[in-house]
Amino acid sequence: MKLPDLLFGVATSDHQAEAYDPQRPDFRDQWEQDQRQTLRGKATDFWKRYSEDIELARDLGCKIFRFSVSWARIEPRPGDFDVEKLDHYRNVTETIQKAGMLPLATLHHFTWPIHVQERGGMTASEFPRWYRDYAYQVAEAIGDLVPYWITFNEPNLLVYGYVKPWWQPEFLVPPGRAIETTLSAQLDEAAVLIRNIFLAHRLGREVIRKKNPAAQVGANPFVLGLPGPLQFIIDWLATRTSSKKTFYRQNRKLAEQAILARTPVDLVISQFTPTRERAAEVAFSYPYREGVEHLVVRRNDAIVQLADLAGKRVGFVRGSIALRSIQRLMPNSLPCAFRTHREGLEALRTGDIDGFVGDEAGILHARPSSDLVVQESALAKSQYAVGIARGNPDLLSLVNASVTAAPTPGTNTQRPGKLIRRIRRRGYLRVGLSCDPEEATSNETLKMELALAQDVGRRIFGRDGCVRFEKLQLDQRVASLSSWSRFLVPVLRTASVIGTVLNSNWWHLGMAGKLPEFLCPKGCAGKQDFVGVDYYWGIDAFELKRMHQLIDASLSRFDHAPVDPPGLLRALSRFHRWFPKLEILIIENGCIETADEFTRAEYLRAHIREVTRARSVGIPVRGYVCWSITSNREWGLPFGPASDFGLYHIDLDNDPALKRMPTPSSAAYKQIIREETITP
């Protein structure tokens, strides 16, 4: 049987492309600001310039244009739906139709209103109903014009807003506040989230198809290109999850790694400032105090400004972040490292160096002599946080409770995790400090750190006197939280991924009726009208050593992403076996400027070749949608070649006009569409 023509398309999304509206921010706006990520700002100004981008897509020869609807704009307050904003999206839909393309609408593209989060977010018992009411309003506005719908974009990635893999310094997506809860509670929320997504999808599909019975409704999980046997094992183990107890046991290893927690100390509370480099090796709590760096000089030296230190020796403590300040503010000076603040200040006093940059708490604790002057102006500000070995989320939650003066997580409701039980069996908590406890009475920061350590000890043991301190030099802090087993990290990451439901194709497993009802409730299985797939990265059977790169790529680090076009064919074949009667739509496939020695144009040709092969053997791939039509704000990442998927380039940071510039990949895609499209 001859398959219908393959429909080529392009895509965009509301948060990544529409300009920020301060009157109607979505929760992602708030979260990115709290996380100090790159804010979308004006983005691509798609809200005003949608017709321009639709015209670009038409000129490429596209037949599908995917866009998403901003829930936050449409429902600014609970139950208050804005007709004007709904009319705007109808105009977008009509413009797509007039350009000769099919609209593909996404209802939930990693964003939701702040008021939804304030009422409990996606894990609230009422969330499916809230989502249904929202979907009803959108369907009433544009349902008669839209043939294809996505209810939830990449639903399988939403769990990473509730469970943080042990190797991740930060949460991948919002709400990202599970750091305050025990691992058991995190997994509870993840299970509720999965259940709510299935329920909300079913309810949303019902209201869409009631408006337009011919509408095709699905979702587009993020799919990795894994070797066939490995993918089979992961999915098979997920189907063996018959109870909540099994779910917890399988998924704990995603966030907890006991072998990495065997470190010389359990905590480090020592003016420890989180940096990107440190966060790659150590887990950090919420900040408990702000630190300030100062320059110290000799009283009678003629050093008035930083420029006076050009060509002169400036000291800092090895392992501190003061070196960054010296390199940034005094680039022509000669940095000199010392083991302690006291050593550095003594070297300054004796004339071995000409200036010293240090943390305010460390300087005061070292008690500089009267012939030294601490300059009043602050060179830099930083935040202090508690350092914890990676793989111990329950201890991290206890520390955060102590930092925020919150109740101890899980009290009287949950059995403590095995790593907390290990500390209790030992009989004491090991804490690294930058001074001896008896020396801390003279400095407010050090007194706070000592009190914080004692409070964590009380929360673990229920009494005082269960903390042992170890004095650390600043350059020992990271090493004291690093396990001898750190060389096993790539292997441990792979083992953490395999066998966890959260990393399986749980969306399609649920739709195929292969998940237990506590995850996919009765009546939700089979409620999709096509099979949606997002595919970007993969490895073949001979590249298992690159598994860690594939995991990184799935968590938004694209620089070293492995590219495996045949992995797309493997995924298409697998889903066709699961759903032989349904068409398949590739909702997203695309590439940054260059990945794994593939240019974007080469990447597109290679993957569309696999789509053609799939269709040649009867796999009913109906659509291929390229991500994305233009450069956009890629979920809080700094903008640049490693985060730009656009067929048309926009200099988001430097071009106020946001001019759309064609790239070699847009010309290649246009040529591919011309070559692959069969005219009846």
Q: What pLDDT was estimated at residue 410?
A: 64
| Res 279 pLDDT > 80 | yes
Mean pLDDT, residues 246-261 taken together = 86
Residue 572: its pLDDT value, please? 97
- Backbone φ, ψ for residue 630 (5° rounding): -135, 170
Mean pLDDT of the chain: 92
**Which has more confidence, 308 or 439?**
308
SS3 256: coil
**Can you give the residue ranges of every domain in the chain?**
7-255+489-676, 258-286+384-487, 288-381
3-state helix, strand, coil in the chain (%, to 5): 45, 20, 40
What Rg, from alpha-carbon coordinates, does the chain have?
A: 28
Instruction: Name the 3-class secondary structure at 468.
Output: strand
- Give the torsion sign (CA, 431, 436, 437, 443): negative
Tell me which of 4-13, 241-250, 283-292, 306-315 is least confident.
Answer: 241-250
- Cβ pair 355, 312 in contact under 8 A: yes
- As a dihedral over the C-alpha atoms of residue 12, residue 13, residue 16, residue 20, rounded to 10 degrees, the angle is 120
Three state DSSP letters for 610-679? HHHHHHHCCCCEEEEEECCCECCCCCCCCCCCCCCCCCEECCCCCCCCCCCEECHHHHHHHHHHHHHCCC
CB count within 10 Å of CB 170 equals 16
In this predicted structure, what is the pLDDT of residue 177? 65
Give the pair of three-digit tokens for residue 467.
């903390």
The three-state secondary structure class of 203 is helix
pLDDT band at 21 (very low <50, low <70, confident <90, very high): very high
Contact assessment for residue 388 and residue 166, using Cβ atoms and an 8 Å cutoff: no
Contact 323, 316 (CB under 8 A): yes
User: What percent of the chain is modeled with pLDDT above 70?
Assistant: 97
Q: Is the pLDDT of residue 36 over 90?
A: no
* CATH superfamily, with its number, for domain 288-381: Periplasmic binding protein-like II (3.40.190.10)
Neighbours of 545 (CB within 10 A): 11
Q: Tell me: the pLDDT tens digits for 558-597? A: 988 999 999 999 999 999 999 999 999 999 999 999 999 9
What pLDDT, on a 0 to 100 scale, did the predictor assign at position 679?
42
- Do 7-255+489-676 and 288-381 fold alike per CATH? no
pLDDT for 489: 81
- The mean pLDDT of 311-322, rounded to a whole number, is 93
Question: Structure tokens of 265?
Answer: 């100390």
Q: What is the pTM of this model?
A: 0.89
Whether residue 283 is predicted with pLDDT greater than 50 in this model: the reply is: yes
Q: Is residue 300 predicted with pLDDT exceeding 90?
A: no
d(CA 674, CA 596): 27
Can the peptide bond before residue 628 be classed as cis, meaning omega within 30 degrees of 0? yes
CA distance 199 to 152: 12
Q: How many Cα neighbours within 13 Å face the side chain of 550?
A: 27
Superfamily of domain 7-255+489-676: Glycosidases (3.20.20.80)
Which neighbouring-strand residues pair with 148? 104, 216
pLDDT bucket at 658, cuts 50 / 70 / 90: very high
pLDDT of residue 249: 83
> In whole angstroms, what is the distance from residue 663 CA to residue 278 CA?
37
What pLDDT, on the 0 to 100 scale, is given for residue 412?
43
Reported as type and span, the H/E element at residue 248 is: helix 244-255
Is 100's pLDDT higher than 70?
yes
Question: Is residue 252 over pLDDT 80?
Answer: yes
User: What's the CA angle centered on 181, arms 179 and 186, to 5 degrees?
Assistant: 90
Q: CB within 8 A of 280, min separation 6: which ones?
A: 169
* Candidate ranges 79-93, 257-271, 476-490; pick with highest mean pLDDT: 79-93
Q: How many CB atoms lie within 10 A of CB 352?
A: 13
CA distance 236 to 25: 41
- The kind and range of the H/E element at 290 are strand 282-298
pLDDT at 175 over 60: yes
